[in-house]
């Protein structure tokens, strides 16, 4: 057997192994996520009936849907609506890379929060799934410097490694600091906050002011607790100055042991590190970001990708688009990395390219991306969607909602066992909020239920 043949066989085996692994993840989401089953199951949910033929779904040689048959079903569902809503969509078979359905899929549209799939890929690929973000304390004479390194999920209490939010705790950091100060005989300090990592990229000119008043985002800093919210719950309000709030919490905790005076703020050179807490591994942060569609974390990730790539933090959209292009998603024009900006432009074809690249990547953290997405009827922003028996637990997807825009981008397994990626955009010119989500869900239900043989 010649070298070329051996390479072809090896590549085929690798692709089949990856597809098989992803299929297994798709078919048993609660076990692969590492989360307790109760997290995924709302009280009102009805468990899907066991399919006695489910084991056949793992067959990598399962028949590919006939594109004409699938296309006829989806065209009927995604026909332009009398209210002016238009749909763009693409469906691709992961194993063969064949495009099974294309409805103006190369036309760029506003992705809304489907963009977070791209940000997730860029962060995991650039920074690494095992990387952790540092929040440190430095001592320079009687000046204590609290330095942010990008962890915006700090908790107010002690570090709690059981979850991404609060994995690193300000009480633990204060405890470490107090112990070290006591050993050095320091009883009074001025607390300086170094929140300079992101420079002046706290805001974004592409964001409508209403996004702040409607509690969708706050100014972005490289140090924050609870993703810049007032408390642990995602229902609590954003804080206008997350870095200053961290200073207040840390100062209060440390003040139980030493006298703390308010110091300056901004970049600080010098000092000796005396304490540090680290965030959850990035893969856990990304999973949390995708499940709850956290805009603040997504903007933080974009800035970190830009810095790692040698760009300015304000160039986060360009940095993420550059990484996406390396994975086959060409031509994205991104103003931000959360999807809040209405002038973000990316095509459904680019989004399916991102998911295909992730699903077949040699990097484990990228292959994990698919099962970090919300699960139909079980978790995150899909908990109340696609919960019927035919799709329950069998669709992983990222939602997107803006005025005049609804999107859904993800993966599912057909009735015959083919792993497909899809991305569907709805755009309504008269500005209704997130138009026609039920239509998009009907299309995904058809994709999942497709045998679609000619």
Q: Does residue 6 fall inside a structural domain? A: no
The reply to whether 292 and 397 lie within a common domain is yes
- Its domain, for residue 329, covers 15-128+286-448
Question: Is 9 inside any structural domain?
Answer: no
Query: Are 241 and 104 contained in the same domain?
Result: no
Residues 268 and 337 in one domain: no
pLDDT beneath 70: ranges in the chain: 1-59, 454
Total count of residues recorded for the chain: 454
C-alpha dihedral sign at 322, 323, 324, 329: positive
> Which one of 280, 307, 330 terminates a domain?
280
Integer Cα distance of 306 and 333 in angstroms = 15
* CATH classification at residue 415: 3.40.710.10
Decide: 27 and 413 in contact? Cβ < 8 Å: yes
The reported pTM is 0.88
Burial of 252 (0-12, 13-18, 19+ CB in 10 A): middle
Q: Provide the pLDDT for residue 41.
A: 31
The pLDDT value recorded for residue 51 is: 40
Assess if residue 80 is contained within a domain. Answer: yes
Please tell me the predicted confidence (pLDDT) of residue 454. Answer: 64
Give the CB-side neighbour count of residue 63, counting CA atoms within 13 A: 10
Query: Is 204 in the same domain as 88?
Result: no
Roughly how many angstroms between the first and final C-alpha of the chain, as a whole number?
37
Domain boundary among 280, 297, 323: 280
């Amino acid at each position: 057997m010649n070298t070329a043949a051996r390479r072809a066989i090896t590549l085929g085996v690798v692709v089949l192994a990856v597809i098989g692994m992803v299929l297994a993840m798709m078919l048993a989401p609660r076990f692969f996520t590492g989360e307790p089953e109760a997290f995924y199951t709302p009280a009102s949910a009805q468990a899907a009936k066991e399919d006695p033929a489910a084991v056949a779904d793992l067959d990598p040689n399962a028949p590919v849907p006939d594109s004409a048959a699938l296309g006829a079903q989806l065209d009927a569902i995604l026909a332009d609506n009398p209210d002016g809503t238009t749909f763009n969509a693409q469906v691709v078979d992961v194993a063969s890379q064949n495009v099974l359905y294309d409805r103006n899929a190369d036309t760029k549209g506003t992705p809304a929060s489907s963009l977070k799939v791209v940000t997730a890929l860029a962060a995991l690929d650039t920074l690494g799934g095992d990387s952790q973000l540092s929040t440190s304390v430095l001592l320079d004479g009687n000046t204590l410097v609290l330095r942010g390194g990008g962890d915006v999920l700090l908790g107010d209490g002690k570090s709690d490694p059981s979850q991404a939010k609060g994995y690193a705790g300000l009480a633990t950091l204060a405890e470490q600091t107090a112990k070290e100060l006591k050993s050095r005989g320091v009883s009074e300090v001025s607390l300086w906050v170094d929140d300079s990592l992101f420079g002046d990229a706290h805001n974004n000119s592409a964001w409508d002011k209403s996004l702040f008043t409607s509690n969708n985002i706050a100014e972005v800093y490289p140090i924050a607790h609870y993703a810049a919210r007032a408390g642990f719950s995602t229902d609590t309000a954003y804080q206008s100055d997350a870095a200053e709030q961290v200073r207040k919490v840390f100062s209060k905790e440390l003040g139980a042991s030493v006298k703390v005076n308010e110091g300056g703020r901004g970049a600080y050179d010098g000092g000796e590190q005396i304490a540090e807490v680290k965030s959850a591994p990035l893969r856990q942060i990304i999973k949390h970001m995708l499940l709850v569609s956290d805009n603040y974390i997504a903007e933080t990730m974009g800035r970190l990708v830009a810095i790692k790539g040698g760009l300015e933090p304000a160039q986060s959209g360009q940095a993420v688009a550059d990484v996406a292009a390396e994975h086959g998603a060409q031509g994205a024009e991104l103003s931000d990395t959360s999807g809040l900006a209405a002038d973000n432009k990316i095509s459904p074809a680019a989004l399916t390219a991102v998911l295909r690249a992730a699903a077949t990547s040699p990097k484990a953290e990228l292959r994990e991306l698919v099962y970090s997405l919300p699960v139909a009827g079980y978790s995150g922003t899909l908990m109340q969607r696609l919960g019927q028996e035919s799709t329950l637990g069998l669709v992983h997807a990222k939602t997107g909602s803006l005025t005049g825009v609804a999107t859904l981008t993800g993966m599912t397994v057909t009735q015959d066992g083919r792993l497909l990626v899809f991305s569907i955009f709805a755009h309504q010119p008269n500005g209704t909020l997130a138009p026609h989500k039920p239509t998009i869900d009907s299309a995904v239900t058809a994709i999942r239920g497709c045998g679609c043989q000619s």
